Amino acid sequence: MAAIRKGDDHDIADAAGVDLEEVPGEAERTAAAEEEEQRKLKRASTIARILTVVMTLSLLILWPMPMYGSGYVFSKPFFTGWVSVGILWLFFSSACVAVYPLWEGRGTSSHTIKAIWLDITGKKKPQRGASVSRGVPIETGRSSPVEAVEEKMGEKS
């Protein structure tokens, strides 16, 4: 990933009157910022690895192994409770993993489904949401930057 470099479009952006600093993700990155990001990523990676090992050892060895050594036999009510808690755990974790993201994205999903339905039925062209960059609405439907550059270059000649 570090070997991937962006092309230099400053001449096109200048001719089009676009400030690359205002385009999300297009700001110049310094070497210090790259090093800081790599340091944070390495730290997060180390934490994730350590937690993975700790959780694996805890859940697969430290917790179940003493149960094998004790020779305890579950009674029918205890086993029923154990299985019930396991099923409830699965139900709630499934809700968190599957249902919660759907609930969070309900606005976008309803807009998408409505736009698809309107497009299929031909009742109305779907409206695109207004593009906003740093709180300032961006005009949509304009010429691409290359065409805008050609137009401005033609005006200067």
In a domain, 55, yes or no: no
Closest CA to 144 of 9, 7, 4: 9
CA separation for the pair 89, 77 (Å, rounded): 18
Q: Yes or no: say if 11 and 149 are a contact pair by the CB < 8 Å rule.
A: no
3-state SS assignment for residue 132:
strand
Mean pLDDT of 75-104: 91
The DSSP result for 7-22, as a single string, is ---HHHHHHHT--GGG
In a domain, 58, yes or no: no
In a domain, 39, yes or no: no
3-state SS assignment for residue 139:
coil
- Encode pLDDT of 135-157 as tens digits: 455 555 544 555 655 666 666 55
CA separation for the pair 32, 83 (Å, rounded): 54
pTM of the model: 0.40
In a domain, 87, yes or no: yes
Domain encompassing residue 81: 73-126
Residue whose structure tokens are 């297009």 = 26
In a domain, 137, yes or no: no
In a domain, 117, yes or no: yes
pLDDT score recorded for residue 50: 97
In a domain, 113, yes or no: yes
Domain count, the chain: 1
In a domain, 80, yes or no: yes
